[in-house]
Amino acid sequence: MADKTKDQENQMWGGRFSRGPAAIMEEINASIDIDKRLWREDIAGSKAHAAMLAGAGIISTDDAKTIIAGLDQIAGEIERGEFKFSAALEDIHMNIEARLKVIIGETAGRLHTARSRNDQVATDFRLWVRGACDELEQALKALMRALAKKAETHANFVMPGFTHLQIAQPITFGHHLLAYVEMFARDASRFADAQKRMNECPLGAAALAGTSFPIDRNATAQALGFDRPSANSLDAVSSRDFAIETLSAAAITGIHLSRLAEEIVFWTSSQFGFVRLSDAYSTGSSIMPQKRNPDAAELVRAKTGRIVAALNNLLIVMKGLPLAYSKDMQEDKAATFDAIDALALSLAAMTGMISDLTADHARMLSAAGEGYSTATDLADWLVRVLNIPFRDAHHITGAIVAIAENKNLALDELPLADMQRVEPRITQDIFDVLSATASAASRTSYGGAAPDNVKAQASRWLKELDREI
């Protein structure tokens, strides 16, 4: 008798079965704890569908108005925290439909005319992912704006540039920050591109073959802000590449965030001391009172693993599924929701850290001159002034660096006579290019690290980002 009660509660498919599901079947089959966050999208899709059914003469206008009013009441209940979700009803779609029946009676049963849970969930999920792309784009642009502002005010802060994590050449802190602006701009464009490709409405594809009812799929697509209805009913209900593409963009963004977070960890260490985070973005140690830990950066770095794992998760779920719908696809939302949540939180945390950090110019400048970082400037001077082929200039510079290293002197501290023993034509003018500040200032080629370049690029980005507000 208990099983029969469950059957009656679940009007979706109870008529076909003489017994209810086993408890473990109910547990593995239910997705309401995950997909209840799709309630806004589900109600929006149902309202559009009801309006279309009335417009096409499939249900009466009065029935559509009654359904839409009932859906609005349910939306209010959920917003106020009054709605009781039931695992026995499996998912958000049946939870809302069951509640609608309680509110308006048998008329609720007309809402599911000419649709299936397959096209319903595909529509809901596309709407949610499309909205997430919008929000992530805006979050990325907020981070880009914070980076560009910091770059503009730190265009003259000379710091070491690294390759292999070894000091390579002097650059500017502003130039370094703008590198991430470029990366995050590409990330934002990937979300925008994904959104364009996913903006086709599955509603009306029904279970897999479409419907015999004279529905107007253009009307529902337009009502929900889609560019067009999807052109193939099988593809509409069985594809999740829109989520995979979004997770791919999220994973790339996460990797960029992780690289920046890693550098913040380095920069705030006592060995580097390039930047400092305030108490707002630092934590202490339970045993070592002197510690200031960049935990926010470390957590951003770690959350990238969850985002990349979500992409891998969904790829594996989808890789062997025949058309059209399989229950495996119920697993698409948990990974996607988790990844998008993690990315949104990481973007907010990184925006806060970038806005918060203060840079130590003296420490950066001192480090920029270490490791014979202006050796390339010496070689370039030999090419430019003495017309020496670069490969020969490279060899001459290497010999001069060896002398400086043996004497434990920086290049701009080495006596001219020592340089002239390697190349007699070198003049006093060489010292004009051997400081870290002069080196950075000389990088005036397009995209280079010179302060004037940095100011121009930062200004350009800020103007572009302000136009998009």
Catalytic residues: 164, 285
Pairing of the two strands 166-172 and 228-229: unpaired
Specify whether the CB–CB gap between 83 and 74 falls below 8 A: yes
Specify whether the CB–CB gap between 354 and 146 falls below 8 A: yes
Distance CA 5, CA 406 (A): 89
- H or E stretch including 174? helix 173-198
Q: Which of 459, 273, 242, 255 is nearest to 359 (CA)?
A: 273
| CA within 13 Å, CB half, 126 | 31
Count of Cβ atoms closer than 10 Å to residue 51 Cβ: 20
Distance CA 178, CA 182 (A): 6
SS3 helix, strand, coil % of the chain, rounded to 5? 70, 5, 25
Contacts of 51 (CB under 8 A, 6+ apart): 64, 68, 219, 223
